[in-house]
Structure 1
Amino acid sequence: MFYDLNIPWPTCTVTAAPPTKKAKKTNTQAAPTTIVPDLCGNPLDALSANDRQRLTELTYELSELGYATVAYNQTVYTKYDPSTHPNPFPLKSNVPFPKLDPRTRAQAGAPTSGASLTQLSRLTLVLDKDHAIKGGTGFVATNSIALQKYDLLAAQPQTEATFQHACTTLSELKPFSIDIISLDLAAAPRLPFYLKRSTVGAALANGAVFEIDYSAAVDPSCDQKNVSVLRRNIFSGARDILRVTNGKGVILSSGARNALGLRAPYDVMNLATLMGITPIAAKDTLSNTCKSLLVRARTRQTFRGAVSQPTLVRTPAPSDVRDATAMQGRKRRKQALF
């Protein structure tokens, strides 16, 4: 099973309501209106026709390429607030494409056989300035109920202070802890801060993983010169991450905004080997590491981060018990003779 845990969810443009006469007199502005998702409707209904068509093509292309799980990513650039940043998919039963998801395809009237694509939700908070730490990120206990409705939580630090805060504080296992630390590798030839083994090790010990987005390296919308620069930046940053992680706790995601930015799983593995990842570890970046991450993410919704994975043991048939007892009796008799 292969995973792509970063498919950007289109943002909805919301027009603020015109100020009232009372607001004009008091020189105050009316609060901007927000789109509250319909709990009974499809999340695609809140998107424009172009975004809906583009996301449909992208999702079905993922299914045809052989991916089994996808996470739609909602990015927040300010302090998280559930009232101003509503969840586009608050109910797990309301997935964008119910005929593809194995959990809902039966209710949607689709055949249960054939390719399926489990659809998850993800929230990424961009930490672009150091004052975001003092002012708060919004990942607090008062917002834990809203945050637990997301299957995955991520942070994208852009300074050394926010990176250390994400690795040591936000990654600690609690109802609002982050699961993924994503770095914008394509923005510059080098990261704006030095990756310390102690800081990265703290995040890995807490169960968080580091994400590498490869879509900028294969984006067909850019000219060849820009693609070469972006690819060089991504490879340089990826090797810096591999230097401190030794290839462990790293996942590769597309971050694609259209179907042309996607690649088949084995093509992504080849790209990972060019970054310096071993072939076995390259496969784990799309499979085993992602699977373990989802298990860890589910612990946020349990008491004190506890989760159990019961092992099913087959009960032996009565005939098997009789045969085993008879064999033990024969062994005892042989031992008694010698």
Structure 2
Amino acid sequence: MDLNIIIERDSVRDNRDTILEKVKRCVKLGLKEIALNVCIDGANQLNSIPSPPQLSSYMIEAIGERRTIKLYTRLTVSVEDGLHLHKIGQSPVVKLYDLLALECKTEKVLTQILGGGFDCDILTFDFTEKSNFSWRKANFSLPITRGILLEINYCQAFSSQSNRHNFFSNSQNLSRKTKGKNILLSSGATNSMFLRGPYCVINLGLLFGLVEHRSKDAVFINGIKAIRHSEIRKNPATSAITLVDKLLPNEEWVKKELLVTTEVTNNQMQVEGETQQDQQMRSSPENSNCSDPKKTKIN
């Protein structure tokens, strides 16, 4: 799973052949779910947010590879001011995207989001630059509880030596601060050459400060959580009861528990039904004389 395949940045969108090349590359690497990402600057482009790409044609071409794949659309907005969050929340175009990601440029905006002032699906960062906020003061407990994913883009590690130093330092600080919870490993690739297979990304996650099982979750499981969070965010009325077609590996116990509970309930209903029938038979007039030995007739 890779939820950050960049197809547009700085108002320049890739042509159809380039996007199709990235999709086919993902299929060959064994990725089953990907998101085509449109990146915009919140300071300049909120008044003219581009529409999401049409996925039907790319889906048909991907099926030609004889492998199944799910495509999603994603919008990533770099935010410098808290006022931009209000415009994002009121925009009808934003609601057309499957996923919403925010890149916080200032500590003030990050504090507002970490405090629950705005709901999004993914928090992403530019780790190639020096951090604009203090990792010690940042508190990620509320976003983790609400199901917001914290993204690390491994393609940032392929930059210059100074940027690479900043990237590993920031990514390890994030992994240490969150204890590896709700981390999402994505590519952030603008070129298909930078894409890597899922097991290669798991090994990269170890370099970012994640333990093995957290790195696997960041590749295979946490992306599903982001998609679920998006569905609940766009449809708050369904947040009380959410029906999913696929349980996560750590949720399989729910299915077993429901089966056991259903079986016990059916047995209890069957026993109660038999008990009621016995009581009715004993209380019937025909059986009342036979049940009492004093009322039996002796011929």
Interval of TM-score (by shorter of Structure 1 and Structure 2):
0.7 to 0.9
- For 1:95 and 1:169, the matched residues in 2 are separated by 35
Matched, 1:77 2:41: yes
- 202, 221, 230: which one pairs with 1:297? 230
Return the offset for 1:82: 7.0
* SS of equivalent residue, structure 2 residue 36: strand
Aligned equivalent of 1:201: 141
Counterpart contact for 2:11–2:40, Cα < 8 Å: no
Which structure is higher in helix share? 2
SS of equivalent residue, structure 2 residue 133: coil
Deviation of the 1:7 alpha carbon: 1.0
Alignment of 1:55-94 (within 5 A): 55-78=19-42, 84-89=48-53, 94=55
Rounded Cα–Cα distance in structure 1 between residues aligned with 2:117 and 2:148: 10
- Write the distance in 1 (CA, Å) between the matches of 2:137 and 2:165: 23
Which amino acid letter does the alignment assign opposite residue 125 of structure 1? V
Normalization by structure 1: what TM-score?
Answer: 0.66
Q: Residue 5 of structure 1 aligns with which residue? A: 3
- Please state if 1:233 is matched with 2:166: yes
Native 8 Å contact 2:176 2:209 kept in 1: no
Cα distance in 2, alignment partners of residues 206 and 245 from structure 1? 14
3-state secondary structure, aligned to 2:48: coil
The answer to whether the Cα contact below 8 Å between 2:152 and 2:185 also exists between their aligned partners in 1 is yes
Residue deviations 1:158-179, cap 9 Å, x none? 21101112222354xxxxx311
* Structure 1 residue ranges without an equivalent (≥5): 15-46, 172-176, 220-225, 315-320, 326-338
Q: Within 5 A, what are the aligned runs for 1:172-321?
A: 177-188=119-130, 191-196=131-136, 199-218=139-158, 226=160, 228-304=161-237, 305-309=239-243
* Equivalent residue, structure 2, for 1:40: none
Q: Given that residues 4 and 67 in structure 1 are in contact (C-alpha distance below 8 angstroms), is that contact kept between their aligned partners in structure 2?
A: yes
Aligned residue-pair number: 253
Write the letter of the residue equivalent to 2:69: L
What is the letter of the counterpart of residue 161 of structure 1? K
Contact 1:78 1:125 in 2 (8 A): yes
Task: Output one character per residue of 1:185-242: Cα deviation in whole Å (capped at 9) or x when no partner.
Answer: 0123xx12112466311211221111001112236xxxxxx2x333222111111101
Q: Distance in 2 between matches of 1:229 and 1:6?
A: 24
Cα distance in 2, alignment partners of residues 161 and 297 from structure 1? 24
1:162 aligns with 109
TM-score, normalisation: structure 2: 0.74
Q: CA deviation at 1:54?
A: 2.6
Name the CA distance, whole Å, in 2 between partners of 1:81 and 1:264: 33
Please identify the structure whose Cα radius of gyration is greater: 2
Contact 1:125 1:154 in 2 (8 A): yes
Residue deviations 1:83-131, cap 9 Å, x none?
A: 6113133x6xx43502156xxx5xxxx5xx9312211011111013xxx
Secondary structure at 1:216 match in 2: helix
Distance 2:61 2:179 in 1: 36
Q: 72-81 vs 162-171, which deviates more? A: 72-81
- Amino acid aligned to 1:296: H
CA contact (8 A) 1:7 1:70 kept: yes
Cα distance change, pair 53–250 in 1 and its aligned pair in 2 (3 A): same
Q: What residue in structure 1 maps to residue 88 of structure 2?
A: 139
* Equivalent position SS for 2:8: coil
8 Å CA contact 1:124, 1:153 repeated in 2: yes
**Which residue type is aligned with residue 138 of structure 1?**
K
1:245 deviates by 0.3
Question: d(CA) in 2 for partners of 1:197 and 1:115?
Answer: 45
Letter in 1 for 2:179: N
Residue 117 of structure 1 aligns with which residue?
69
**Structure 2 counterpart SS, 1:99:** helix
Aligned partners of 2:153 and 2:188: how far apart in 1?
6
